[in-house]
Amino acid sequence: MTRRTWELYLLLLLGLGLMSQEALPPPCESQIYCQGELLHQVQMAKLYQDDKQFVDMSLATAPDQVLQRFRELMEVHNRSVPRQQLQEFVQQHFQDVGLELEPWTPGDWKESPKFLQKISDAKLRVWAEELNQIWKKLGKKMKPEILSHPERFSLIYSEHPFIVPGGRFVEFYYWDSYWVMEGLLLSEMAETVKGMLQNFLNLVKTYGHIPNGGRVYYLQRSQPPLLTLMMDRYLTHTNDISFLEENIETLALELNFWTVNRTISVNSGGETYVLNRYYVPYGGPRPESYSKDEELADTLPEGDREALWAELKAGAESGWDFSSRWLVRDQNPDLLSSIRTSKLVPVDLNAFLCQAEELLSNFYSRLGKDSQATKYRNLRAQRLAAMKAILWDEQKGAWFDYDIENGKKNLEFYPSNLTPLWAGCFSDPGVVDKALQYLEDSKILTYQHGIPTSLSNTGQQWDFPNAWAPLQDLIVRGLAKSASPGTQEVAFQLAQNWIRTNFDVYTQKSVMYEKYDISDGGQPGGGGEYEVQEGFGWTNGVALMFLDRYGDRLTSGSPPSHLVSHCLVATFLLNILLGFLPW
Ligand SMILES: *[C@@H]1O[C@H](CO)[C@@H](O)[C@H](O)[C@H]1NC(C)=O
Ligand SMILES: *[C@@H]1O[C@H](CO)[C@@H](O)[C@H](O)[C@H]1NC(C)=O
């Protein structure tokens, strides 16, 4: 090829690239699973306890036929179909949930992964073995019908089997999968991790982003961006550079989604900074929580409803659905209808992206692509400066979500405030010890059973008294980066508290939960939109991470105050024993 043909060829490719970007359809137009009269009437009739159930059912016939039948039914009933007839209609045209996924035992599952040997406490070791077993229960594989008739399913086809969170969450979820993968890698299941990564990369190629979870009704929103980190962890375990080489442009494409669709400019001190936010520019109730969203909207004037729904979806995109983090405002801070997710610049989102930019820069360097490496290094440097200017608070020694509407930080405590430590997204090493001081000042270290999600008890699940595994990891591994032995010791102690809560509840219930209530000695969590779920992917992942890191020191026994009484009992028994001994 001559130089000129090369240029034309490149232009053509570029043009195709732009066209395919523009040709992306609006996420989810399904008149059954995402919007329309059928969805509305069925969900508002509340045929099922959980709205998710209906949108997880697959169709018995083609969607056009189902919609045609429904139009006929509406005509018969003057548009508003009675509950009984809706029930019959769903029974006729839909199939029960769960049939589209098959149980799957990962081929690379192992009975005794090596990290188990690092755990000195015998009870914790047996427990870790049981956690390792749970991967087999959480493995899922798609039936081939989903590939041949995708229009009949809300489930998005994925080629490779995967691990799900558990409970009502029978499909994969984006940010959950990161902690699941950390656990899988400890369980020496890198092949399973690779398959899950391939699924995510394929989603980026098809949709330009990773949806919240593996259903079409999740396509309008993403979840905290951890794909590049997933790749990094996989590479660390396997050194599979050719996999990186094949997929690095897809990683860049995913970051591009956050740049194109989720950027916000913030002015401060005469400068303009560019950061990211959670933002979903689509109205309508969330299909899987339809009646709740509709009823919540009924409490607002009609003109405000679409905005409310968009903010609820942005809240779901943050992974913190829902939390006082997104509700704060001077009036009615406890009302979910006051949600304004997109008006905040979140610390954790920007820390995740900062880390992704650094990792991507390193990946490009490894592949000898220096100009791309420089591009992402510069993006990270810009973000660091913006985070320092907008989110960091020198006096408090932590970062805080920035409220764009009110031009100020939200100074409430959330573990996410320390995500930059965990993500290595800071330039002054002194911040780690400042963060410890911040935790002490906020009285967070007085909680014996886990780090609370916030200090406000709103009834939302991402608030007090719930504690979530990924948030424990953010703090523990953040503090563990300190050079100071004292700060590292606090990190260990926090890991010990969390392990004990997980272990104690497991001992009572033989189950791992998605979240824990730390107010009453550690119990399954509550609050929010649905019942507490069992399984549970990321909780297991984080437990295995702590057991791996601190296995030589962690204990299953009671905390120090009880230890004293154990000692007393032991002394007492010893005395009795001695009393019976013939001297
Ligand atoms: C059909 O519904 C409309 C309002 O939705 C109402 O005005 C009309 O009277 C109804 N027709 C019959 C035959 O019930
Ligand atoms: C991201 O923005 C592009 C361009 O505006 C748009 O076509 C695409 O649908 C957006 N993606 C999502 C998931 O909203």
Query: Cα–chain-centroid distance for residue 526?
Result: 18
d(CA 261, ligand 2 centre) in Å = 6
Q: Rounded to whole angstroms, how far apart are CA atoms 455 and 450?
A: 13
Give me the numbers of helices (H) and strands (E) for the chain, helices first please.
Answer: 21, 15
Q: Would you name the residues annotated as active-site residues?
A: 321, 514
Phi and psi angles of residue 142, each rounded to the nearest 5 degrees, phi first: -90, 145
Q: Rounded to whole angstroms, how far apart are CA atoms 243 and 520?
A: 47
- From 207, 261, 262, 277, mutation site for ligand 2 pocket: most ligand atoms within 8 A of C-beta: 261
Task: Give the model's pLDDT for residue 332.
Answer: 62
| Per-residue pLDDT tens digits for 500-549 | 999 999 999 999 999 999 998 889 999 988 888 999 999 999 999 999 99
Q: Which token pair is 293?
A: 């969203």
Task: Give the model's pLDDT for residue 498.
Answer: 98
d(CA 267, ligand 2 centre) in Å = 25
Question: Which ligand neighbours the alpha carbon of 77 most closely?
Answer: 1
d(CA 312, ligand 2 centre) in Å = 18
Task: Give the model's pLDDT for residue 3.
Answer: 45
- From 260, 276, 280, 317, mutation site for ligand 2 pocket: most ligand atoms within 8 A of C-beta: 260
Q: Rounded to whole angstroms, how far apart are CA atoms 95 and 143?
A: 14
Long-range CB contact pairs, 120-129, < 8 A, 24+: 120/551, 120/552, 120/553, 121/554, 121/555, 121/556, 121/557, 123/503, 123/556, 124/499, 124/503, 124/547, 124/551, 124/554, 124/555, 124/556, 127/503, 127/506, 127/556, 128/543, 128/544, 128/547
d(CA 213, ligand 2 centre) in Å = 17
Whether ligand 2 lies within 6 angstroms of the CB of 16 is answered as no
Q: Rounded to whole angstroms, how far apart are CA atoms 207 and 247?
A: 15
CB 163 within 8 A of CB 203: no
Question: Which ligand neighbours the alpha carbon of 310 most closely?
Answer: 2
Query: Cα–chain-centroid distance for residue 248?
Result: 22
Q: Is 443 strand, coil or helix? A: coil
Helix (H) or strand (E) holding 142: strand 139-142
388: nearest Cα among 481, 482, 275, 474: 275
Residue carrying structure tokens 């962690």: 554
Domain map (residue ranges) of the chain: 428-583
Q: What distance, in Å, lies between the first and last C-alpha atoms of the chain?
A: 102
The Cα-based distances of 317 to 212, 311, 320, 400, 454 in angstroms read 6, 10, 8, 19, 19
Give nearest CA residue, ligand 2 atom 9. 26
CB neighbour burial string for 473-507, b if at least 16 within 10 angstroms, e if fewer? bbbbbbbbbbeeeebeebbbebbbbbbbbbbbbbe
List helix spans (H) across 149-224.
174-186, 190-207
The atom of ligand 2 lying closest to the CA of 219 is 13
What is the percent of the chain with per-residue pLDDT over 70, rounded to a whole number? 90
d(CA 208, ligand 2 centre) in Å = 8
CB 318 within 8 A of CB 349: yes
Torsional class of 319: left (φ above 0), alpha (ψ -120 to 50), beta (otherwise):
left
| Per-residue pLDDT tens digits for 243-291 | 999 999 999 999 999 999 999 999 998 999 999 999 999 999 999 999 9
540: nearest Cα among 446, 439, 470: 470
Task: Give the model's pLDDT for residue 223.
Answer: 98
Q: Rounded to whole angstroms, how far apart are CA atoms 508 and 514?
A: 16
Q: Which token pair is 189?
A: 């299941």
Pairing state between β 58-59 and 94-95: antiparallel
**Per residue, what are the HEC states of 25-86?**
CCCCCCCCCCCCHHHHHHHHCCCCCCCHHHHCCEECCCHHHHHHHHHHHHHHCCCCCCHHHH
Whether ligand 2 lies within 6 angstroms of the CB of 24 is answered as yes
Single pTM value for the model: 0.91
What is the residue-level pLDDT of the chain in tens, covering all 583 positions? 444 444 444 444 443 444 444 456 678 889 999 999 999 999 999 999 999 999 999 999 999 999 999 999 999 999 999 999 999 999 999 999 988 999 999 999 999 999 999 999 999 999 999 999 999 999 999 999 999 999 999 999 999 999 999 998 999 999 999 999 999 999 999 999 999 999 999 999 999 999 999 999 999 999 999 999 999 999 999 999 999 999 999 999 999 999 999 999 999 989 999 999 999 999 999 999 999 999 999 999 999 999 999 999 999 999 999 999 999 766 665 689 999 999 999 999 999 999 999 999 999 999 999 999 999 999 999 999 999 999 999 999 999 999 999 999 999 999 999 999 999 999 999 999 999 999 999 999 999 999 999 999 999 999 999 999 999 999 999 999 999 999 999 999 999 999 999 999 999 999 999 999 999 888 999 998 888 899 999 999 999 999 999 999 999 986 554 443 343 334 334 433 443 333 3
The Cα-based distances of 539 to 135, 503, 544, 558 in angstroms read 12, 11, 9, 21
The atom of ligand 2 lying closest to the CA of 209 is 13
Q: Rounded to whole angstroms, how far apart are CA atoms 536 and 524?
A: 12
Identify any residues that bridge with 58 across adjacent strands, giving them in sequence order.
95
CB 247 within 8 A of CB 201: yes
Give strand ranges (E) for 489-551: 516-517, 523-524
Cis peptide bond upstream of 465, omega within 30: yes
Q: Tell me the residue type at 455.
A: L
- From 19, 21, 22, 24, mutation site for ligand 2 pocket: most ligand atoms within 8 A of C-beta: 24
Whether ligand 2 lies within 6 angstroms of the CB of 256 is answered as no
